[in-house]
Amino acid sequence: QVQLVESGGGSVQAGGSLRLSCVASGNKYSAGCMGWFRQAPGKEREGVAKINTAGSTYYDPSVKGRFTIAQDNAKNTLWLQMNSLKPEDTAMYYCAADTTRTRYCASALRPSDYNYWGQGTQVTVSS
């Protein structure tokens, strides 16, 4: 069992920055891959970024170069640094863990590959 709690969301103007955090508890060392997802009203949940136990990362093209995913060595905290925010980044952001893989992430960035989720934190970007 893994429990995930996100924080750091808020309201910013376009061009601003936010840093999301996700604290993991429980059997946190079992997750081979951690990811950030987001869901805007009326839209499907989509992948933003992922990181595996070795620190290898992947970003959706819509955020590459603006967002950075990172985790601490003990893997109990995951971050998402978001810079140059745009109104289209407005969404509920979720932290997720994949404990079905011990070292590597699934090749795609799909919600169905992750079996533990946080409750989400809202990010609103105004123009």
What average pLDDT values come out for the chain (127 residues) when binned by 10 residues? Answer: 94 98 80 93 97 93 97 84 98 95 88 96 97
Predicted local distance difference test score (pLDDT) of residue 31: 79
pLDDT reported for residue 25: 87
Paired with 93 in beta bridges are: 38, 121
Q: What is the pLDDT of residue 104?
A: 85
- Selection from 34, 126, 37 nearest residue 88 by Cα: 126
Quote the pLDDT of residue 28: 58
Give the tokens for residue 120: 């989400």
